[in-house]
Structure 1
Amino acid sequence: MGFKFEYLLSILPDLALAALVNVRLAAVIIAIALMLGTMLTVLRSLKLRPVNAVVAIVISFVRGTPLLIQIFIAYYVLPAVGLDLTPEVAGIAAISFNSMVFVSESMRGGLASIDPGPLEAATALGLRPPVIWWKVVLPQLFRRIAPVLINEATIVVKGTALLSVITVVDVLRTAQQMASSSYRPFETLVGAALVFLVVNLAISLAGKTAEARFAATRM
Structure 2
Amino acid sequence: MRASQRVYNQLRAEILDGDLPPGRVLAEVEQSQRFGISRTPVREAIGRLAAEGLAEQQGGRGVVVSDVTTDDITPLFEVREALDIQAARLAALRGDPAEFAALADRLEDVAGRFDSPRHSSQDDPPAAYYELVEQMDRAIDAAAANPWLDAASSTVRMQLARVRRLAAQDPSRLAAAAREHAQIARAVSTGSAQLAEAAVRLHLNNALNSALAKAPATAAGSTATREETP
Shorter chain as denominator, the TM-score bin is 0.3 to 0.5
Q: Which has the larger radius of gyration?
A: 1
The two structures have a TM-score, normalised by structure 2, of: 0.32
